[in-house]
C-alpha cells in the first residue's frame, strides 16, 4: 500500500509542477501577444500618420522601452524556471546515486 501511495504522491507533485509551468507559459504568451499587438499598432500609427522627425523618434523610443518592459519579465521567468528545473534534476540525480549505494 505504501508504494502505491508514494507513487500517487509523486504523480500529484509532478502534475502540480507541470500545471504551474503551463500557467507560467500562458502568462508569458499573454505578454508576447500584448507586445506583438503594440508593435503592430505602433507600425500602423507610423504608417497612417506619416510620422517623421521628433514624432518618429519618440515612437521609436516608446517601442524600445515597451519592448524592454514587456520582454524582461518573460526572460526573468524563463531563467527562473530553468534554474528550478536544473536544481530539481540535480537533486533527483543525487538522490538516485545515494539510493544505489
Share of the chain above pLDDT 70, in %: 98
Enter the C-alpha cell of residue 29.
Answer: 504568451
Is pLDDT above 80 for 2? no
Whether the model clears a pTM of 0.85, i.e. scores above it, the answer is no
Domain boundaries, the chain: 29-100
The reported pLDDT for the residue numbered 101 is 67
Q: What is the pLDDT of residues 23-55, one digit of tens each?
A: 988 988 898 899 999 999 999 998 999 989 999
The reported pLDDT for the residue numbered 1 is 53
Amino acid at each position: 500500500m505504501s508504494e502505491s501511495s508514494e507513487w500517487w504522491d509523486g504523480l500529484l507533485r509532478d502534475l502540480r509542477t507541470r500545471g504551474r509551468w503551463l500557467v507560467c507559459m500562458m502568462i508569458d504568451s499573454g505578454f508576447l501577444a500584448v507586445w506583438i499587438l503594440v508593435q503592430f499598432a505602433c507600425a500602423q500609427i507610423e504608417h497612417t500618420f506619416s510620422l517623421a522627425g521628433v514624432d518618429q523618434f519618440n515612437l521609436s523610443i516608446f517601442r524600445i522601452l515597451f519592448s524592454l518592459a514587456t520582454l524582461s519579465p518573460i526572460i526573468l521567468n524563463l531563467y527562473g524556471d530553468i534554474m528550478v528545473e536544473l536544481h530539481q534534476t540535480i537533486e533527483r540525480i543525487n538522490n538516485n546515486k545515494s539510493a544505489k549505494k
